[in-house]
């Protein structure tokens, strides 16, 4: 009967059945092993595994590791032979071991969280829901959740063609694509982007109807090799053109992929705030405002889009 009770207690909390059976060393061993396995697999998936594997496999692996550790602990409690409580001192020792077990467990988990947090402080994967009225179609659709590598730009410089997240002065989070680097001259007329007086190459890529938009798709290729697909609808918008501007140092010119439905650097008010006078620099995104590097689609109403890459292909 005591074995069944010990197994039941271990099912509630791994190690508890071992304490009940008078095996505190076994309880502490299970506690330490579980904490180590949890942090080792978290570190491996954070730093070694590709993000697609991280998104899909990390929850599954975590559940499997937890079930295996829990099952081993329950099995051990079921087959161990409880010590006979023939003396009052033995019972008092069991109570002391139980209290110590919970304090040690709490301290171990707290230490593991602190260490894991310190290791991951510059590599945290965040996720956001995209709700900018389809301004990044066809790359990202409204309502989709995307994975974002926060602080990516603390170790990587922004690149031409890269999709970034950033905050405007009013606090709104935006998702756009960098097309203009510091020192570039940028023009945008009649749906065509020009960088340093060269019209960006593009080829027809089909037709799209999504999120209430319909129009022609084009594959653009930026200087440096970044290629991606943009949508050009028949909607007229005041920011579909932009006169020649020079991108200042430490700033970037960004566009949405849904070119006729994106509020971006073509508008001089794009990065302005209500508490200062508008100026030419207000259309550009400062490097210090860039907050993340989107990587893939985590959730979409279209199942085929889940797991799809967000960043552009690079063709030299």
Q: What is the pLDDT of residues 293-314, one digit of tens each?
A: 998 888 888 888 888 889 987 7
pLDDT at 286 over 90: yes
Q: Write down the mean pLDDT value for the chain.
A: 74
Residue 250: which pLDDT band, with cuts at 50, 70 and 90? Answer: very high
Burial 114-126 (b: 16+ CB within 10 A, else e): eeeeeeeeeeebe
Query: Measured in Å, how far apart are the chain's first and last C-alpha atoms?
Result: 71
Are 136 and 175 in contact by the 8 Å Cβ rule? The answer is yes
Rounded to whole angstroms, what are the CA distances from 194 to 189, 258, 298? Answer: 8, 17, 33
* Predicted TM-score (pTM) of this structure: 0.63
Describe the chain by its helix, strand, coil percentages, rounded to 5.
35, 30, 35
Rounded to whole angstroms, what are the CA distances from 115 to 59, 106, 301? Answer: 20, 14, 37
Structure token digits, residue 120: 């991951």
pLDDT at 88 over 50: no
Residue 118: which pLDDT band, with cuts at 50, 70 and 90? Answer: very low
Output DSSP code: residue 290: E
For residue 248, give the nearest of 283, 201, 289, 223 by alpha carbon. 283
For residue 174, give the nearest of 268, 300, 298, 289 by alpha carbon. 289
How many residues would you count in the chain?
Answer: 316
Q: What is the pLDDT of residues 178-214, one digit of tens each?
A: 999 999 999 988 778 999 999 999 999 999 988 788 9
SS (H, E, C) 17-84: HHHHCCCHHHHHHHHHHHHHHHHHHHHHHHHCCCHHHHHHHHHHHHHHHHHHHHHHHHHHHHHCCCCC
Residue 122: which pLDDT band, with cuts at 50, 70 and 90? Answer: very low
pLDDT of residue 251: 95
Are 24 and 96 in contact by the 8 Å Cβ rule? The answer is no
pLDDT of residue 201: 94
Most confident of 5-9, 28-32, 63-67, 155-159: 155-159
Domains contained in the chain, CATH given: 2-120 (no CATH), 125-314 (2.10.109.10)
Mapping DSSP to helix (H, G, I), strand (E, B) and coil, where does residue 103 land? helix
Strands 163-167 and 290-299: antiparallel
Q: Tokens 């919970």, residue?
A: 102
Q: What is the pLDDT of residues 133-146, one digit of tens each?
A: 688 999 998 888 88
Distance CA 301, CA 144 (A): 7
Rg for the chain, CA atoms, rounded: 28
């Amino acid at each position: 009967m005591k074995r069944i009770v010990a197994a039941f207690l271990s099912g509630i909390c791994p190690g508890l059945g071992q304490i009940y059976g008078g095996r505190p060393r076994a309880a502490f061993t299970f506690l330490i092993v579980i904490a180590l396995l949890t942090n080792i697999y978290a570190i491996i998936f954070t730093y070694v595994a590709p993000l697609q594997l991280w998104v899909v496999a990390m929850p599954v692996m975590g559940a499997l590791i937890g079930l295996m550790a829990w099952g081993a602990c329950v099995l051990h409690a079921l087959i161990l032979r409880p010590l006979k409580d023939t003396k009052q001192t033995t019972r008092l020792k069991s109570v002391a071991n139980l209290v110590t077990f919970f304090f040690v467990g709490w301290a171990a988990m707290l230490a593991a969280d602190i260490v894991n947090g310190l290791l991951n402080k510059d590599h945290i994967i965040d996720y956001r829901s995209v709700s900018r009225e389809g301004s990044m179609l066809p790359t990202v659709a409204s309502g989709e959740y995307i994975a974002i590598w926060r602080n990516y730009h603390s170790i990587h410089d922004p690149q031409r063609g890269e999709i970034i997240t950033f905050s405007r002065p009013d606090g709104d989070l935006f998702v756009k694509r960098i097309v203009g680097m510091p020192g570039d001259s940028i023009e945008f007329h009649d749906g065509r982007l020009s960088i340093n007086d060269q019209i960006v190459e593009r080829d027809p890529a089909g037709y799209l109807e999504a999120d209430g938009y319909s129009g022609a798709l084009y594959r653009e290729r930026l200087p440096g090799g970044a290629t991606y697909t943009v949508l050009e609808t028949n909607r007229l918008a005041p920011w579909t053109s932009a006169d020649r501007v020079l991108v200042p140092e430490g700033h970037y010119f960004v566009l949405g992929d849904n070119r006729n439905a994106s509020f971006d650097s073509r508008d001089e008010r794009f990065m302005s705030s209500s508490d200062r006078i508008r100026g030419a620099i207000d259309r550009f995104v400062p490097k210090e405002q860039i907050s993340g590097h989107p990587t893939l689609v985590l959730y979409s109403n279209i199942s085929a889009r889940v797991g799809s890459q967000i960043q552009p292909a690079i063709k030299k």
